[in-house]
């Protein structure tokens, strides 16, 4: 079946609606939405559409028109196709972070994407890690992948994480950002491996 895609203008319209007066303080900005959907698409179990839509725009879904619902679903479908078929590529605002100063890296769309990813992934990542069933190598890889892709979600933790590795803050952050494209590309596969090894999910979910 042909996948639904949004044009650049349609993405801009969706982004504008998410920050419109009727949704101020309720909806995720577009960059946060992209990170959130990426985490959901990689999840070992699907989240019902009405649940994640309310996470995105708030509890009052009466503000959602058919066109806006279509746009959300089309974005989800487009990103799913990237994750499972063509290869997921990080948004341009994340790929350009490496050349910025640490103050700029920890603000703006890059941080919003990481916040969305952390929100969408934290529950299943925590459950899998708490299972105690992962071998050491997979446990370390899975943990690092989550920490890397959510590195900007809590900027206040960067200094302590860098200190644990005896690195300057900017070097630690640059190293983590440089790993993001590879971890994003392989995150869905890593989630599948960890979920199956945890014993909390079975192979039926991927058949």
- Model confidence at 207, pLDDT cuts 50, 70, 90, reads very low
Distance between CA atoms of residues 137 and 36, nearest Å: 26
pLDDT at 205: 52
Domain 8-206: CATH class, spelled out: mainly alpha
Average pLDDT score over residue span 99-112:
84
Q: Are 201 and 195 in contact (CB under 8 A)?
A: yes
Alpha carbon separation from 86 to 35, 77, 89 (Å, rounded): 18, 12, 9
Kindly provide the b/e burial profile for residues 84-115, where b requires at least 16 CB atoms within 10 angstroms of the residue's own CB: eeeebebbeebeebeebebeebbeebbbbbbb
pLDDT at 206 exceeding the cut of 90: no
Average pLDDT score over residue span 171-192:
95
- Model confidence at 91, pLDDT cuts 50, 70, 90, reads very high
Number of Cα atoms under 13 Å in the Cβ half of residue 19? 10
> What's the pLDDT tens digit per position in 36-66?
999 999 999 999 999 999 999 999 999 899 9
What mean pLDDT, rounded, does the chain reach?
92
Quick one: DSSP state of residue 81? H
Output Rg (C-alpha) for the chain, integer angstroms. 17
């Amino acid at each position: 079946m042909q996948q639904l895609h949004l044009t650049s203008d349609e993405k801009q319209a969706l982004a504008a609606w998410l920050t419109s007066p009727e949704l101020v303080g309720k909806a995720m900005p577009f960059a946060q939405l992209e990170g959130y959907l990426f985490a959901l698409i990689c999840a070992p179990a699907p989240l019902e559409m009405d649940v994640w839509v309310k996470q995105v725009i708030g509890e009052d879904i009466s503000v959602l028109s058919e066109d806006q619902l279509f746009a959300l679903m089309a974005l989800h479908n487009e990103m799913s196709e990237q994750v499972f078929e063509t290869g997921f590529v990080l948004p341009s605002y994340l790929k350009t972070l490496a050349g910025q100063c640490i103050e700029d890296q920890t603000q703006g769309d890059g941080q919003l994407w990481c916040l969305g990813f952390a929100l969408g992934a934290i529950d299943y990542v925590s459950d899998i890690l708490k299972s105690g069933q992962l071998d050491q190598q997979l446990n370390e890889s899975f943990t690092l992948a989550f920490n890397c892709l959510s590195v900007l979600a809590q900027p206040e933790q960067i200094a302590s994480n860098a200190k644990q590795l005896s690195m300057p803050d900017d070097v630690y952050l640059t190293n983590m950002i440089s790993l993001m494209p590879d971890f994003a590309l392989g995150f869905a596969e890593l989630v599948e491996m960890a979920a199956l090894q945890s014993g909390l999910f079975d192979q039926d979910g991927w058949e």
